[in-house]
Amino acid sequence: MSTISRVEPISVSYPEPNDNGAIRNLTLCRIETSDGVVGWGEAISMWPEACKATEALISGMSDILIGRDPLDNLVLSREVATRAWWYGPEGIASFARSAIDIALWDLRGKVTGQSLVSMLGGVANTDIPVIASTHAFSSSLEEEVKKHASYVSQGFTGFKIGLGKKGAARLGYEFDRDVMFLKMLRESVGPKPDIMFDRGQHLRWDASYATRLTMAFEEYGIRWIEEPLEPWDIQGFRHLRSHCTSLVATGERCWTTEQYERLIRTGIVDVVGCDPGRAGGITGFRELIQLVESAQLWFNAHAWSSAIITAASLALSASSKRCLLFELKPIENPMQHELVDEPFWHTNGVINAPNKPGLGIEVKEKVVQKYKMK
């Protein structure tokens, strides 16, 4: 019988052109069976010290996995979570759990010949609209408008723009300039494409400012405002939602199913954001989907890292009708376009889940080694 024989964490560092060339970091998890089948997972650990700590936890928990049946992925994920309880259900422990869980699902699919979406119960959501997930980093609003209009001409159904990001754009800091930017965008691309704004973590808006800005954005047709306030500002979110008609998206800083459950109970969210690379892997994301379906809300995958997370997020998005759209980075980058033979892209503005075994991707190990963190 095939058993798990090796568990290896590998952190990578790479330049991200979609983030103004900033160096970004991830921790990958490679799990191999005794007959040479390999599953891949990922944690969006981001900072070098977090990557090293995540590596240590994955290596430390490998004794739970070595010698075990790769088909027992849910049992193994629960045992990993039980071990991680001692050092906390959030933070570094959750990064490690997430990477291991994704790799175990990938491994199970490759051993059994099943795709991830099939293991999740089948495709419920086909032809998912694809938007360009972008950062603005040019000082010229005209240049940014031109850039984003080009994404629509490439077939994207819209775009979500991160505010307060690296570069010289300075979006998110000046009320009138931000509103002018959206006005110019809408005039350039017309009424149909979706436009979303995501407040970056470097920005701090209070409820009054976030509400006034969102209401101004609504004049030009914004689909949703994402993370407009700090997640603990429940009263602020309620104030915002009582004055605005656009969807409110939040949740990407939740770590556990229990935290998502509490968030949904507050009634402040329309679109729940989740990244399987930090919130319990595929198992954690699947539990969130069940909560979202029960509450008749929407969910959105925060899939802004490697093709591993994109593959997992896409299968999860296809497994439920409560997903509105899917995000892809529009500029070619190492962890999407070098890492796998068949990079993810849309066809006429839509995308479907991979149907090959496991995550449906083959990771190029030479590329992993090329970008391995020193």
What would be the CATH architecture of the domain defined by 4-113+364-370? 2-Layer Sandwich (3.30)
Walk along the chain (374 residues) in steps of 10 and give the mean pLDDT of each run: 96 96 97 98 98 98 98 98 92 98 98 98 98 95 96 97 92 96 98 96 94 98 97 96 97 96 97 98 98 98 96 98 98 98 97 98 98 95
Nearest to 361 by CA among 129, 102, 157, 133: 102
Q: In the numeric block, which tokens belong to residue 218?
A: 């609504």
Give the separation between CA 148 and CA 367, rounded to whole angstroms. Answer: 30
Give the separation between CA 223 and CA 372, rounded to whole angstroms. Answer: 38
Q: In the numeric block, which tokens belong to residue 70?
A: 């790769």
- Domain 118-351 CATH assignment equals 1.50.10.10: no
* Cα distance between the two ends of the chain: 37
Give the separation between CA 344 and CA 201, rounded to whole angstroms. Answer: 27
Q: Give burial (CB, 10 Å; 0-12/13-18/19+) of 275.
A: buried
Each domain of the chain, given as residue ranges in start order, spans: 4-113+364-370, 118-351
Q: Which residues contact 53 (CB under 8 A, 6 or more apart)?
A: 45, 92
